[in-house]
């Protein structure tokens, strides 16, 4: 557990997070390794766990019939994969595939949601950390769909 606490403390997502809250989150954490091509999760599956990438690159994809999956974005070291665990119905809305060898820490969603319900300070802290990421990704998506490099 001490090892996981150390890993969480070093991860960008938990920068300057209070120690007692890191300890609470670490209680829901476990290490993962994903080989290239392996899926962290699939669209429609229960969002039971989200991931903090330590090394490697993950592609968020939407599967399309009769063509290669469409990559929405790639995420790398220091970033978070998965937000669907936060809100009902707790199901993934895309696939997440390891593009290269990925080492990550997985956080058990039900475990963390339970701790957030029991300790609203922890819940608020998690929301404060997730909300800017979600807003940043929303803004990036807006820029992405503008097709700014197209001919005018």
Partner 1 sequence: MPLLTAAAQIDPFVPQLYKVAHVRRELSDVVTLEIKPSQGSRPSYAPGQFNMLYAFGIGEIAISISGDGTDSTGFVHTVRDVGAVSRAIAALDIGATLGVRGPFGTEWPVTAAEGSDILIIAGGLGLAPLRPAITHVLANRARYGRVAILFGCRHPEDILFHDQLAAWRGRLDIAVEVTVDHADSNWHGHVGVVPALIPRVSFSPHDTVALVCGPEIMMRFTANALRDAGVASNQIYLSMERNMKCAIGLCGHCQFGPTFVCKDGPVMRFDRIERLLTLREI
Binding positions for partner 1, rule: CB under 8 A? 57, 59, 61, 67-74, 76, 78, 97, 99-100, 139-140, 143-144, 146-152
To the nearest whole angstrom, how small is the minimum distance from the Cβ of residue 24 to partner 1?
A: 26
Residue closer to partner 1, measured from CB, 2 or 143: 143
User: Pairing between strand 80-81 and 95-98?
Assistant: unpaired
Q: What is the CA radius of gyration of the chain?
A: 16
To the nearest whole angstrom, how small is the minimum distance from the Cβ of residue 113 to partner 1?
A: 28
C-beta neighbour count of 96 within 10 angstroms: 22
Nearest to 40 by CA among 90, 87, 88, 100: 100
Residue closer to partner 1, measured from CB, 1 or 146: 146
Tell me 13's DSSP state: G
To the nearest whole angstrom, how small is the minimum distance from the Cβ of residue 89 to partner 1?
A: 27
Nearest to 60 by CA among 112, 137, 149, 135: 137
To the nearest whole angstrom, how small is the minimum distance from the Cβ of residue 125 to partner 1?
A: 21
Residue closer to partner 1, measured from CB, 2 or 148: 148
To the nearest whole angstrom, how small is the minimum distance from the Cβ of residue 134 to partner 1?
A: 14
Residue closer to partner 1, measured from CB, 46 or 69: 69
- Residues in the chain, how many? 152
Q: Is 139 helix (H, G, I), strand (E, B) or coil?
A: helix
Residue closer to partner 1, measured from CB, 95 or 108: 95
């Amino acid at each position: 557990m001490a090892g996981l606490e150390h890993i969480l403390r070093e991860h960008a997502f938990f920068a300057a997070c209070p120690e007692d809250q890191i300890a609470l989150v670490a209680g829901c954490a476990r290490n993962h390794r994903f080989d290239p091509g392996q899926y962290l999760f699939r669209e429609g599956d229960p969002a039971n766990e989200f991931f903090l990438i330590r090394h490697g690159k993950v592609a968020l994809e939407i599967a399309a019939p009769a063509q290669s999956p469409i990559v929405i974005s790639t995420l790398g070291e220091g970033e978070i994969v998965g937000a669907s665990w936060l809100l009902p119905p707790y199901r993934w809305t895309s696939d997440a595939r390891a593009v290269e060898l990925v080492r990550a820490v997985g956080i058990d969603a039900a475990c963390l949601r339970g701790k957030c319900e029991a300790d609203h300070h922890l819940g608020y802290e998690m929301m404060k950390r997730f909300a800017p990421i979600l807003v940043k990704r929303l803004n990036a998506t807006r820029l992405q769909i503008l097709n700014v490099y197209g001919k005018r």
